[in-house]
Structure formats: C-alpha cells, structure tokens
Amino acid sequence: MKQRFLLLWKANRSFFVFVCLMLIFRSAVADWNTVPTGSMKPTILEGDRIFVNKMAYDLRLPFTHISLLKRGDPARGDIIIFDSEVADKRLVKRVIGLPGDVVAMQQNQLWINGEKFSYQDSAAATGKIDKIENLLGVAHWVRRLGHESRHSSFKPVTVPPNHYLVLGDNRDNSADSRVIGFVPRGEIVGRSRHVVLSLNYDHYYLPRSDRFLEQLKVLTRLMV
C-alpha cells in the first residue's frame, strides 16, 4: 500500500502541490462567494458570485480565523463577508455601525451618533422603493418596502468594542444585525467590491453577462 501511494505521489506530485496551493490561496488570500438570497438588493443579486478579498483586514492562518497580522479594520460602507456563529452560515452585509457608534433607525431612516442620514431618489431606480442612502459620505443604493415592517425601526444601540453593526441593502428583507446582533471582528472573512460572474436563477441559470466583473458600486460622494 505504501509503495502504491509513493508511486501515485511521484506520478501526480505537481497536481497535488497545485491543489494544495490553490486551497491555501482560497482560504487565506482570495476566493469567491455565491449569494443565494436577495438581502443585498439592489447592489447584489441572487446568483452573483462576488470576489472576496480575504487579506483586506487580516493575514490569517490558512483554514482558520486566526489573524497573524492585522492589516486594517472594516470601514463604514464596506461590504463584508463573515461566518456568523449565530446564524450558523456565511453572510454578506454592509457595515453601518463601527465600534462605539450609537445607531438607531426610524421608519427605515438611519441615525448615527445623533446625525440623520440623507436619502435621495435614484435615477436608476426600478420603483419608488429604491433610494440613494448617504452613509455619512458613502452613497449607495438601498431598497425598502412601500410600507413599514417589523425591521423598519429600532431604538438607539451602542456598538460594543471589537464588533460591528451590519445591515442588508434590501432593508425590509434581510436577516442582519437586527436579527443576529452585532458581528464580532473575528468572524469577518473579508471584503467584496466586485462581482466575478452572475447566473440568473429565474431564467434557467443563464449568465447575466452585463454583471461579469462589475464593480459593486459606491456612488459619487453626496453632500448632506
């Protein structure tokens, strides 16, 4: 048995090394993540495969969440990928509240540290529920229902140290910090800024060629 294994190793050594290096690369450097739900609409669609920069915040020991070198912290407006212990799955959301921030929401209108967010109608909107949210300088699209839901409001909360408050851009259809609580820094896997490719789940998984390599748009900075 041992001899057969050695012969197999010698015959396929380059292939095995390539596979190992690829797995290490995907674990610690970069990968893609499939988005199966619409919680980040209109920014990210169901069927998008988004690029994940796993070195955006930390250099980690491969196949673990152990940080070998901290390279930075998530910024407000970043789209982060994290392994939620509470939800028991990997999630994609937008960073809204940083450690120490006091965040509140009233009828889908955000407040941070007593400052009210501004919203504008989007020229690219498909309906009145799409708005441009100015996240204290980072402008992006959000989607809301035409009526108030149970997620539309919450009282002021203070983001604890080493944690983040995250929301989906599809505000009334997202299991985010309003459901799972604050996200610990150690659960964050990486940051995404681009779609790699996209398949349309509603049309026989046909590719959406217009979304290939598309940037996850942060709009021009708006004046409050």
Q: Active-site residue numbers?
A: 39, 93
Q: Cα separations (Å) of 147 from 107, 123, 154?
A: 9, 21, 16
Amino acid at 47: G
**Length reported for the chain:** 224
Facing residues of 219 across strands?
139
Please tell me the distance from the alpha carbon of residue 165 to that of residue 163, in angstroms, as a whole number: 7
CB of 127 within 8 A of CB of 115?
Answer: no
Please tell me the distance from the alpha carbon of residue 71 to that of residue 122, in angstroms, as a whole number: 35
